[in-house]
Structure 1
Amino acid sequence: MRDQEAGWVGARIATANGTKDLGPFQVNSSWIPKLAKVTDRSHGQIRSWLEQDACFNVQAARWIFLSGLAASGDYLKAIGIYHSPTLWRQRRYARSVLAHLRRRFGEAVFPRQAMREASPSNVGKTVDPLKLIRR
């Protein structure tokens, strides 16, 4: 996912829906209220950490991904959930990340069968990532 996101420390990229993608893992600003609540920190502190602290950004991305994995029980679906609550965007993103994995680790580790399993007809239901963890 890092290869796909391609962000950097200090990144603040505007999105079409008015949110911002922040830091190395391009964590969407829509996560700030949830992250502020679970860490008992201010929205401003979370925004700053997501933008400027690579370690916090990576840990936030990990938390979002693992929340998707807990909700879906499926690695590939969790990759899509990390990206978007919209099913077609989840599918497209999962296929793209899988292509990055194949380039990085090779066909033997991520065979083409996995690519077929990521096809639009096979990657699961729409899951809203902001509703994954209740606290």
Structure 2
Amino acid sequence: MDKDAFQRSWSRRTLMSSMMGMVISITAFGQTGSSSPPASNAHRKLSHKELKALIANAKTREDHLRLADYYRAEASRLRKEAEEHQDLATVYTKGDLYEPSKTGAAQHCKQFADFFAHGAAEADQLAAVHQKIADQMK
């Protein structure tokens, strides 16, 4: 398959759907199978159900601080993912083993890097919103 055919086969919507599925899978995998003891309630990663409930019912300063912490941690995780995918894009671009123009792998990795970087920026904004709300509740 040539580069143009490969790029046409992956519409932006398909790519974003795939990436979201991967993010959900990574998040879900990270929440299961942990052999470490549970962390304190304030520093334990929230499950999706707990996050929804906290967002829906956040009324106290502590609730908003917990949400801010959650989003800061999420932003950090997403930034790490973006960096890893950017590193892979660089390897594919500079590698002698593959022909980047034919595999499309470098572009694929770059799109993931951009996606995760955008997610990190969004998480940073949500953390700032909840931090501001908590600060106003002092």
- TM-score tier, shorter chain, comes to 0.3 to 0.5
TM-score, scaled relative to structure 2: 0.32
- Flag the structure with larger Rg: 2
More helix by share: 2
Higher relative contact order (CA 8 A, sep 6+): 2
